[in-house]
Amino acid sequence: MTTASATADLGDLVRDLALANRMLTQEGVLDAFGHVSVRHPEDPGRFLISVSKAPINVRAEDIIVCDLDARPVEPTDRRVYSEGVIHSEIYRARPDVNAVCHHHAAAIMPFCLSRERLVPVNQLGAVIGEEAPFWDSQDEFGDTNLLLVRPEEGASLARALGPHWVVLMRRHGATVVGRSLKEMFFRAVHSTANAGVQLAARALGPVESLTPGEIALASRLRPDPIERQWLYSLTRRIEAVGPERA
């Protein structure tokens, strides 16, 4: 790859990362809080993430590069997310992960406040896997303000995530990962939607998870549905705010 093409590819990824912040807000996954990152395509020991601001306001010029200690590679006087260790420690622990989203979606929160298991209850919900593991900061750290700001807290979360794609965080939110930015986007949207459906179905009676065999088959993500979801969300964003602001 030439230097020019590598620069262009990095520029496209920066643009898409900023766009993912805004589209995940449009989809109800992010709100004023939460953050999204992607591993640097040329250096697996670094990742791209926005400076600290509401995701709906993130633009390409807000994206910075951080190392696996969650520190900006280049000095900046702009505030960075205090929970960068969520991203850095997952990238350190999971070489297969290339994108991370931490969020507090309303549909997910009931599962973070109870011991009700979040399980796939429909075909698209299979992106969760057989179930989402549950991480409780009390187990290792006792009373905290529930933010993950220390490397050991991020490492603990990464251990709880293990080989899974979604981890619930007690009284806090969820973290979703993927092998690419668009795959993570797909998982974030549909794990959140599954949570809403599962919660609503509980009002009608017991809810059954997909079988292990169904999960194994339905969770085999192909590029076409991932791209379809991305373009659908982009279209929704454009129709909501116009192409110039999308």
User: If DSSP codes are grouped into helix, strand and coil, which group holds residue 175?
Assistant: strand
CB 228 within 8 A of CB 235: no
CA atoms within 13 A on the CB side of 58: 34
pLDDT at 6: 59
Residue 80 lies in a domain: no
Angle at 134 between CA 37 and CA 92, to 5 degrees: 40
Q: What secondary structure letter does DSSP report for 65? A: E
Residue 161 lies in a domain: yes
User: Average pLDDT of 232-243?
Assistant: 95
| CA 73 from centre of chain | 22
Catalytic residue (choose from 42, 61, 74, 83): 83
User: Average pLDDT of 169-180?
Assistant: 98
Share of the chain above pLDDT 70, in %: 97
Residue 4: band (very low, low, confident or very high) from pLDDT cuts 50, 70, 90? very low
Residue where the block lists tokens 């969520």: 86
What is the domain extent for residue 106?
21-29+97-241
Q: Residue 57: which residues within 8 A CB-CB, separation 6 or more?
A: none
| CATH code for the domain of 197 | 3.40.225.10
Residue 70 lies in a domain: no
User: Around Cβ 69, how many Cβ atoms within 10 Å?
Assistant: 12
Count: domains in the chain = 1
Amino acid residing at 196: G
| CA 19 from centre of chain | 14
- The token pair at 237 is 């964003």
Residue 191 lies in a domain: yes
**153 tagged catalytic:** no
pLDDT in tens, 6-36: 566 999 999 999 999 999 999 999 999 999 9
Amino acid residing at 234: L
Quote the pTM value: 0.95
Size (the chain), residues? 246
Cα 130 to Cα 140: distance, rounded to the nearest angstrom: 25
Residue 38 lies in a domain: no
Residue 52 lies in a domain: no
Residue 199 lies in a domain: yes
Residue 35 lies in a domain: no
pLDDT in tens, 59-71: 999 999 999 999 9
Cα 166 to Cα 97: distance, rounded to the nearest angstrom: 12
